[in-house]
């Protein structure tokens, strides 16, 4: 896999600032979504991906039926080749809480692909109810994936799965195809930067 596409699954506890989101979710009649962006920038990223990628929509639907909640945030990684990662958040709640971190600065396309990739990892975790913490996660991905090498000293054990690599490729193709289709339907916008009279 090209280094520019590398993602990892860190098997360490992820610290995340939980504002009032959990309490807020419990006070509303409508359940909060299972994928929860932490900022307006990550909300825009999630919305864009779901709008443009059928594969991402399928993953979001699967996660909505699960007991997993995945928070999404941007993160400046020490490794320039690392585009995204997923880890557990400490919680006493029965719901399994995950954190998806998307590398920045990266191109919009790379961030979208990384998010699709990490949503697949979240779906993999959701599929096995015994994966309830970092240690169980390491054992699980050791069985269904392969261990990768990370140059970041604090990264811990990292893993990759064929399914997540496949999803990343598919999401990239969907996004590029959608972009080409939009360009073909609006040639004046592409060429001139404004609508034709």
- Tokens linked to 48: 């864009």
What distance lies between CA 162 and its chain's CA centroid? 16
Residue whose C-alpha is closest to residue 10's, from 80, 101, 106? 101
Which residues sit opposite 36 in a β-bridge?
71
Comparing 28-32, 90-94, 98-102, 149-153, the range with the smallest average pLDDT is 149-153
pLDDT in tens, 96-138: 999 999 999 999 999 999 999 999 999 999 999 999 899 999 9
**CA 74 – CA 101 distance, rounded (Å):** 5
- Residues, the chain: 197
The residue with tokens 């599929």 is: 127
**CA 151 – CA 124 distance, rounded (Å):** 25
Mean pLDDT of 55-59: 98
What's the pLDDT at 168?
97
Q: Is the pLDDT of residue 11 over 50?
A: no
Q: Which of 16-25, 43-52, 155-164, 185-194 has the highest mean pLDDT?
A: 43-52
Q: What phi and psi values does residue 90 have, to the nearest 5 degrees?
A: -65, 135
Q: What phi and psi values does residue 97 have, to the nearest 5 degrees?
A: -105, 130
């Amino acid at each position: 896999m090209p280094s520019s596409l590398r993602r990892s699954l860190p098997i360490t506890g992820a610290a995340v600032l939980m504002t009032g989101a959990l309490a807020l979710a419990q006070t509303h009649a409508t359940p909060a979504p299972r994928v929860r962006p932490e900022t307006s920038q990550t909300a825009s990223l999630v919305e864009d991906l779901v709008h443009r990628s059928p594969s991402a929509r399928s993953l979001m639907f699967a996660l909505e039926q699960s007991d997993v909640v995945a928070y999404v945030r941007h993160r400046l990684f020490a490794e320039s080749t690392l585009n995204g990662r997923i880890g557990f958040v400490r919680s006493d709640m029965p719901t399994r809480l995950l954190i998806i971190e998307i590398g920045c600065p990266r191109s919009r396309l790379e961030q979208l692909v990384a998010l699709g990739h990490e949503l697949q990892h979240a779906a993999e975790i959701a599929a096995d109810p015994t994966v309830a913490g970092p240690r169980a996660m390491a054992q699980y991905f050791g069985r269904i994936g392969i261990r990768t090498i990370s140059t970041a000293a604090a990264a811990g054990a990292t893993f990759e799965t064929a399914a997540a690599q496949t999803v990343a490729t598919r999401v990239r193709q969907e996004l590029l195809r959608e972009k080409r289709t939009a360009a073909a339907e609006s040639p004046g916008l592409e060429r001139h930067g404004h609508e034709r009279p």
